[in-house]
Amino acid sequence: MHRPAVGTFMCTLAGLAACVPARSTPHDSGSGLDSGPSAADTGGSTGSQGDGGSAGGDRFHPDGYDDPAVHGLEAKLNVQDCRDCHGADLAGGSGLSCDSCHPEGWRTDCTFCHGGSSNPTGAPPLDIDGTADPAAISFMAHTTHVTGSIAAPFDCSECHLEPDEATSPGHLFDDTPAVAEVDFSAGLSDAGLYDGKGGCSNLYCHGDGRGDNGTSVDDGVPRTCASCHPDETSGSTAWSSMSGEHSRHLNEGLDCAWCHFDDVDHDKNVIDPSLHVDGMVEQTFEKSTIWRISGTCIGYCHGQLHWESW
């Protein structure tokens, strides 16, 4: 999740940093979140088991810091660098291992830090700042992209550099805390650009299938077929931008299902999402007496050959 020059979207929690005491001397390895501090650690007062200890003396974390809503949020927003005490891989270092409290597999479970509200992919909601309202998260269309209603479900790698685990370089601990960098380089829209405000351009997806010419804005407005490419409702001006004999066929009243029968039906419902926005152009004809050879269609309804390349 790098390439901030391409564009970023940011999750923040206003005022969080102001609630965190400035770093003094970190607590020692014997006074972690799951064991109350000693009198020596706290300057004479002891904390309760699991309460995170006191902010006094040599301890850094305040009372109640073991609450996931507190330390979990600070970790995700990188308010402090947990590695300073818990090690580069959070396996211990000079303090406790995060594995001593967190369940097995947490490092590779995307929903441990984000997602999980609408589906198990890790895509928000939840956002990394805990926002659960789909209309208030940093990118509202996340769920639409990963659930595959009109295309095969998109993997995170379509829009992000996907880490192997939480502590992979450039993920949880990087130079852009609380930011998920957008990087299209490993996806279908490898020329895509993100403006940092919900707008994408130079896309194959959301394009007309003839190049990296698609644009989209994350505005919550429902999309139709014609939002990305012309269809039978678009009119002759839009049809003229399409390849081959599209314009002629549409002017004669044919719809998409005549030539893309496995993809879409006559009511413009996507039949097989795996064949839509997949980087390929598939032709399957409703009439079995029509076939396509090297860009030319031959069949009973023509009586002539089309030599223009599709």
Residues 239-255: pLDDT tens digits? Answer: 999 988 899 899 999 99
**Distance from chain centroid for Cα 10:** 13
Which one-letter DSSP state was computed for residue 270?
B
Of 7, 43, 57, which Cα lies nearest the Cα of 192? 7
Alpha-carbon Rg for the chain, nearest whole angstrom, is: 27
Q: What is the pLDDT of residue 34?
A: 34
pLDDT computed for residue 44 by the predictor: 30
- The pLDDT tens digits for 49-96 are 233 433 344 567 888 998 988 999 999 999 888 998 899 999 988 788
Residue 283: the pLDDT is 83
Q: Can you give the three-state secondary structure of 65-118, one letter per residue?
A: CCCHHHHHHHHHCCCCCCHHHHCCCCCCCCCCCHHHCCCCCHHHCHHHCCCCCC
What are the sequence ranges of the domains in the chain? 1-21+62-223, 226-310
Asked if 170 and 183 touch (Cβ cutoff 8 Å), the reply is no
Closest to 256 measured CA to CA, from 243, 265, 245, 247: 265
pLDDT tens-digit map of 4-37: 333 333 333 333 333 333 333 443 333 333 333 3
Question: Rounded to whole angstroms, how far apart are CA atoms 47 and 62?
Answer: 10
Half-sphere exposure of 246 (CA within 13 A, CB side): 24
| Average pLDDT along the chain | 79
Residue percentage of the chain with pLDDT more than 70: 74
Largest CA distance in the chain: 97
Whether residue 45 is predicted with pLDDT greater than 60 in this model: the reply is no
Torsion region of 286: left, alpha or beta (phi above 0 gives left; psi -120 to 50 gives alpha): alpha
Q: Yes or no: say if 308 and 257 are a contact pair by the CB < 8 Å rule.
A: no
